[in-house]
């Protein structure tokens, strides 16, 4: 028995548009995440600057609403979300992170658009710095890679389904 496997690639030769939603809260961290995402989209994804649309929101809590509006517009093949949530002494961190990530997932499924999560949820500032481009890579770049791969995978699945082939 031969098991067929399908996966997305990261390189595009056709024009696609991607939106990035970024929180202004903790922007000194988020700026590194945006730079990582942009570098990946331009160099790995072969996108042009004019194919990338960045929307700034006040905080992570506002990301799902903008993600929904952008998803409904059908102008973008994918959305990348970027924010940094650092745990404090209250439950605010849990409420915001749980709500934000849960709603983003629901929007992605409802509108059938990949929304990649470049939202850091860390215990402290040092962890956020490490995940935004120092010792543990750049989570913005990783979110961009996820976006590119998911767009490609969805395209492959759509083409296979249209041909009514068994895969």
- Does the annotation flag 143 for ligand binding? no
Please say whether the beta carbons of 37 and 30 come within 8 A: no
- Does the annotation flag 21 for ligand binding? no
Rounded to whole angstroms, how far apart are CA atoms 97 and 100? 5
Going by DSSP bridges, is the β-strand pair 18-23/78-86 parallel, antiparallel, or unpaired?
parallel
Q: Which residues are catalytic?
A: 92
Please say whether the beta carbons of 44 and 12 come within 8 A: no
- Does the annotation flag 126 for ligand binding? no
- Does the annotation flag 81 for ligand binding? no
* Residues comprising the chain, all counted: 167
- Does the annotation flag 160 for ligand binding? no
Rounded to whole angstroms, how far apart are CA atoms 37 and 21? 11
- Does the annotation flag 62 for ligand binding? yes
Binding-site residues for (2S)-2-hydroxy-3-oxobutyl phosphate, please?
89-90, 131
Binding-site residues, please?
25, 60-62, 84-86, 89-90, 131
Binding-site residues for 5-amino-6-(D-ribitylamino)uracil, please?
25, 60-62, 84-86
């Amino acid at each position: 028995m031969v098991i067929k496997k399908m996966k997305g690639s990261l390189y595009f030769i056709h024009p696609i548009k991607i939106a990035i939603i970024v929180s202004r809260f903790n922007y000194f961290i988020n700026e590194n995440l945006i730079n990582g995402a942009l570098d990946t989209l331009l160099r790995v994804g072969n996108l042009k600057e004019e194919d990338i649309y960045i929307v700034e929101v006040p905080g992570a809590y506002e990301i799902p609403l903008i993600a929904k509006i952008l998803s409904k517009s059908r102008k973008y093949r994918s959305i990348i979300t970027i924010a940094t949530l650092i745990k404090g002494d209250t439950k605010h961190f849990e409420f915001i992170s749980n709500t934000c990530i849960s709603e983003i997932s629901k929007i992605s499924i409802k509108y059938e658009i990949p929304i990649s999560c470049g939202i850091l949820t860390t215990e402290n500032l040092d962890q956020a710095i490490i995940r935004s481009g120092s010792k543990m890579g750049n989570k913005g770049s990783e979110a961009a890679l996820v976006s590119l791969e998911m767009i490609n995978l969805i395209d492959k699945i759509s083409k296979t389904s249209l041909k009514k082939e068994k895969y």
